[in-house]
Amino acid sequence: MEYILMIIGAVLVNNIILVQFLGICPFLGVSSKVNTAAGMGVAVIFVMALATLVTSALQKYVLVPLNITFLQTIVFILVIASLVQMVEIMLKKLSPSLYKALGVYLPLITTNCAVLGIAIKVTEQPLIAAHGFSVIDSTIYAVAIAIGFTLAIVIFAGLREQMELVDVPKGMKGVPIALITAGILAMAFMGFQNLV
Residues of the shown chain interacting with another protein in the complex, contacts defined by CB under 8 A: 18-25, 28, 70-74, 77-78, 81-82, 111-113, 116-117, 120-121, 124, 169-172, 175-180, 182-184, 186-187, 189-190
Q: Is the Cβ of residue 20 or residue 98 nearer to another protein in the bound state?
A: 20
Do 17 and 27 touch, CB atoms closer than 8 A? yes
In angstroms, rounded to a whole number, what is the distance separating the alpha carbons of residues 120 and 113? 11
In angstroms, rounded to a whole number, what is the distance separating the alpha carbons of residues 1 and 68? 35
Query: What is the DSSP-derived secondary structure letter of residue 41?
Result: H
Q: Is the Cβ of residue 73 or residue 95 nearer to another protein in the bound state?
A: 73
Q: Is the Cβ of residue 15 or residue 139 nearer to another protein in the bound state?
A: 15
Is 92 in a helix, a strand, or coil?
helix
Q: Is the Cβ of residue 57 or residue 180 nearer to another protein in the bound state?
A: 180
Minimal distance in Å, beta carbon 36 to another protein?
18
Do 153 and 17 touch, CB atoms closer than 8 A? yes
In angstroms, rounded to a whole number, what is the distance separating the alpha carbons of residues 25 and 19? 15
